[in-house]
Amino acid sequence: MNIKTIDINKFKRIVFFTGAGMSAESGVPTYRGEGGVWHEYNWREYACQEAWETDPEKVFDFHDLRREEALKCFPHKGHEVITAIQEVHANVLVVTQNIDGMHQRAGSNNVIELHGSIWRVRCDREGWVKDDLNHGPFEKRKCDCGACLRPDIIWFSDMLDPNTVQQADAAVSQCDLFISIGTSGVVWPAAGYPQLAKSTGALCIELNPQPSEQSLIYDRVYKGKAGELLPQLFNM
């Protein structure tokens, strides 16, 4: 494929917008696609507030499994390219829909996690959120106050955290280079970001083996895998 390489020094603010396809290449299953998690598990029993209120242990068991599966996978060359760009450019943000922490494991530090993280828990009674980086299952399922902890993840029907959304909105609307990787563009409000970036004048590029719902919005669409296209795009 003929890829026109990007000189990062020509851009002031760069946003990498990533979805499940970015991690799929590391081996983390997507939710809906081929081999997707929701073919095996019904999200109504594992990934919504109602499921957690009905049977928190079952929901925790499911998310323990997600953590264990994620730990068997490793960042790929595409993650490394993003981290390398962050190391040499002052204004590079990752806005991800992924909850698996793979960007951070690749060494990225400026990561906005729109849909939360399987590496955090929160106590809704006391109102705190904390890292739980135990290398395996969640360390604790109960808060000292007696309430059941909750994986800090946006489940079906949950509202996104307003502060996180505000940060992501600001980053996307102010960037001059927006690169979308591995997202089908069907999960809202994240699916609105390509249009937002485009409307504020950013150069918008999509990397995906398949067309997405938003492909027509982009200035350039490159068909292929993140781990192969990112090194080519940035000549790394």
By CB under 6 A, is residue 233 in contact with ligand NAD?
A: no
**Is 79 marked active-site?**
no
Output the CA–CA distances (angstroms, integers) from residue 173 to 110, 154, 188, 204, in the order listed: 17, 23, 16, 12
Residue 93 near residue 85 (C-beta atoms within 8 A): no
Three-class SS of residue 111? strand
Residue 234 near residue 87 (C-beta atoms within 8 A): no
Output the CA–CA distances (angstroms, integers) from residue 200 to 29, 116, 195, in the order listed: 33, 26, 9
Residues 149-168 that bind ligand NAD (CB under 6 A): none
- CA dist 109 and 103 (Å) reads 8
By CB under 6 A, is residue 15 in contact with ligand NAD?
A: no
By CB under 6 A, is residue 186 in contact with ligand NAD?
A: yes
By CB under 6 A, is residue 74 in contact with ligand NAD?
A: no
Tell me, what amino acid is at 82? I
Kindly tell me which residue out of 23, 83, 104, 108 binds ligand NAD, with binding defined by CB under 6 A. Answer: 23
Binding segment for ligand NAD (CB under 6 A), chosen from 9-17, 86-94, 98-106, 133-141, is 98-106
Kindly tell me which residue out of 6, 86, 95, 97 binds ligand NAD, with binding defined by CB under 6 A. Answer: 97
Residues that bind ligand NAD (CB under 6 A): 19-21, 23-25, 28, 30-33, 97-100, 115, 181-184, 186-187, 207-210, 212, 225-226
